[in-house]
Amino acid sequence: MTLASLFSQYFLGAMLSFVVITNPLSKIPMFLSLTPGQTPAQKNRVAFTACAYAGAIMVVSLIGGNLVLSMFGISYGALRVAGGLVVAGVGYKMLYQAHDSTSHAHRESVDVSFFPLAMPGISGPGTIAVVIGFSTEIAEIADWRWKIAAILITLAAIGGTMLVVWLSLKLSAKIAERIGPSALDVLTRLMGFLLICIGVQFVGSGIRTFYSTLS
């Protein structure tokens, strides 16, 4: 194991997975429908707070995921298979179902930054499953020094992902105006296909883990 391999797997690979599962572009219609009539400063504050909440959820899932698994006696293999199925299911919905951009009613008196933007918008069940999936992979690293390095690199990937999401929300009006709803739909379906691939990869990894424990 080298630092380069850790960086490739737990920063590049993790950040790609996180960006795909959070799907920042698909959050633009939701964000715009939840913040009509707000000033740019108010929208920026909502976007920043939502990303802070979502990032915190992902960090807790990364660090505390293994504790939850041990408390309930869930094996790494079972988590990866279940998480892969959840992620693939989210991808299937994105690929084959029309995106509803007007399902969230806006109320000025309600803070929408945590619900529904951060949870379940940005850090939904699929995102949590992906993060815990990486957490289980890190837990299997034998050398504690490499394990700590992998955790720090994955935390950086979470930070990078939240930066991408924040920029998407901050520039949501301009992005929606430039690319249009049709392009947003195409990109959402492409993200859905990639999510199915990631889910299948998680299932395969979980099956291999099951097999290794039986042999």
- Specify the pLDDT at position 18: 96
User: Mean pLDDT over all residues of the chain?
Assistant: 85
Q: Per-residue confidence at 163, pLDDT binned at 50, 70, 90?
A: very high
Q: Per-residue confidence at 110, pLDDT binned at 50, 70, 90?
A: low
| Residues 38-83: tens digit of each pLDDT | 899 999 999 999 999 999 999 999 998 878 878 888 887 887 788 7
| Residues 175-184: tens digit of each pLDDT | 888 888 788 7
Average pLDDT over residues 145-165: 97
Name the phi and psi angles at 96, rounded to 5: -115, -10
Q: Per-residue confidence at 105, pLDDT binned at 50, 70, 90?
A: very low
- Specify the pLDDT at position 215: 61
- Specify the pLDDT at position 102: 43
Q: In the numeric block, which tokens belong to residue 215?
A: 């042999």
DSSP collapsed to 3 states, 82-151? HHHHHHHHHHHHHHHCCCCCCCCCCCCCCCCHHHHHHHHHHCCHHHHHHHHHHHHHHHCCCCHHHHHHHH
Choice between 124 and 160, residue whose per-residue pLDDT is larger: 160
